[in-house]
A and B are shown apart, each in its own frame.
Chain A
Amino acid sequence: MDQIAVHQDSATSSDWPVAIYRTLKSFGVAQVSYVPDAGHSKLIKLSHADADIKTTVLTTEEEGVAMAAGAWLGGDRAVLLMQSSGVGNCVNMLSLMASCRFPLLTLVTMRGEWAEFNPWQIPMGRATPQAFEIMGATVLRLENPDDAEEVISAAASLAYDGDQQVAVLISQRMIGRKKWTRETH
Chain B
Amino acid sequence: MSITPGTLDRRAAVKALLADRGDLLVISGLGSSSYDVFDAGDHASNFYLWGAMGGAAMVGLGLALAQPKRPVLVVTGDGEQLMGIGSLLTIATKQPGNLSVAVLDNGHFGETGMQPSHSGLGARLEVIADGAGIRSVSDIADMAGIERFRNSLRDLSGGPRLARIRIAAGEVERALPPRDGTYLKNRFRGHLGFKVS
Q: Could you give, for residues 154-197 of chain B, a 1 whenever the CB lies within 8 Å of some chain A CB and a 0 otherwise?
A: 00000000000000000000000000011011001100101001
CB-CB under 8 A for A74 and B55, given A60-B86, A100-B181, A100-B184: no
Shortest CB-to-CB span from B119 to chain A, Å, is: 19
The answer, yes or no, to whether A183 is at the interface (CB within 8 Å) is no
The answer, yes or no, to whether A62 is at the interface (CB within 8 Å) is yes
Query: How many Å lie between the Cα of A54 and that of B95 in the bound state?
Result: 12
Q: Are A102 and B67 in contact (CB under 8 A)?
A: no
Of B45-53, B100-108, B136-144, the segment with at least 4 beta carbons within 8 Å of chain A is B45-53
CB-CB under 8 A for A71 and B54, given A57-B93, A59-B87, A101-B182: no
The answer, yes or no, to whether B117 is at the interface (CB within 8 Å) is no
Q: Are A74 and B66 in contact (CB under 8 A)?
A: yes
The answer, yes or no, to whether A93 is at the interface (CB within 8 Å) is yes
By beta carbon, the residue of chain B nearest A30 is B66
Residues from chain A with a CB closer than 8 A to the CB of B59 are 66-67, 69-70, 73, 96
Query: Do most interface residues of chain B lie in helix, strand or loop, or is the interface mixed?
Result: helix
Which residues of B50-103 are within 8 A (CB) of A?
50-56, 58-67, 84, 86-87, 89-90, 93-94
Query: How many Å lie between the Cα of A57 and that of B133 in the bound state?
Result: 14
Q: Are A78 and B185 in contact (CB under 8 A)?
A: no
Chain B CB within 10 Å — which of A59, A65, A66, A70 has the most? A70
The answer, yes or no, to whether A144 is at the interface (CB within 8 Å) is no
CB-CB under 8 A for A66 and B185, given A56-B93, A57-B93: no
The answer, yes or no, to whether A113 is at the interface (CB within 8 Å) is no
What's the interface size class on B, roughly?
A: 35 or more
Q: Are B182 and A73 in contact (CB under 8 A)?
A: no
Q: Are B62 and A101 in contact (CB under 8 A)?
A: no
The answer, yes or no, to whether B153 is at the interface (CB within 8 Å) is no
Which residues of A46-73 are within 8 A (CB) of B?
54, 56-60, 62-73
Q: Are A71 and B66 in contact (CB under 8 A)?
A: yes
Residues from chain B with a CB closer than 8 A to the CB of A69 are 52, 55, 59, 62
Shortest CB-to-CB span from A61 to chain B, Å, is: 11
By beta carbon, the residue of chain B nearest A163 is B197
Q: Are B65 and A31 in contact (CB under 8 A)?
A: yes
Q: Are B51 and A95 in contact (CB under 8 A)?
A: yes
CB-CB under 8 A for A99 and B51, given A56-B93, A76-B66: yes
Q: Are A63 and B90 in contact (CB under 8 A)?
A: yes
Q: Are A56 and B185 in contact (CB under 8 A)?
A: no
The answer, yes or no, to whether A161 is at the interface (CB within 8 Å) is yes
Query: How many Å lie between the Cα of A161 and that of B47 in the bound state?
Result: 22
Residues from chain A with a CB closer than 8 A to the CB of B197 are 161, 163
Residues from chain B with a CB closer than 8 A to the CB of A64 are 58
By beta carbon, the residue of chain A nearest B74 is A70
Query: How many Å lie between the Cα of A76 and that of B189 in the bound state?
Result: 11
Chain A residues with CB under 8 Å of chain B are 30-31, 54, 56-60, 62-76, 78, 92-93, 95-96, 99-102, 161, 163
15 A-B pairs in the complex with CB atoms less than 8 angstroms apart: A56-B93, A57-B90, A58-B86, A59-B87, A66-B62, A70-B27, A70-B64, A72-B62, A73-B62, A73-B63, A74-B62, A96-B59, A96-B181, A99-B51, A101-B181
- 9 A-B pairs with least C-beta separation: A70-B62, A74-B66, A59-B86, A100-B181, A66-B55, A66-B58, A76-B66, A71-B62, A70-B59
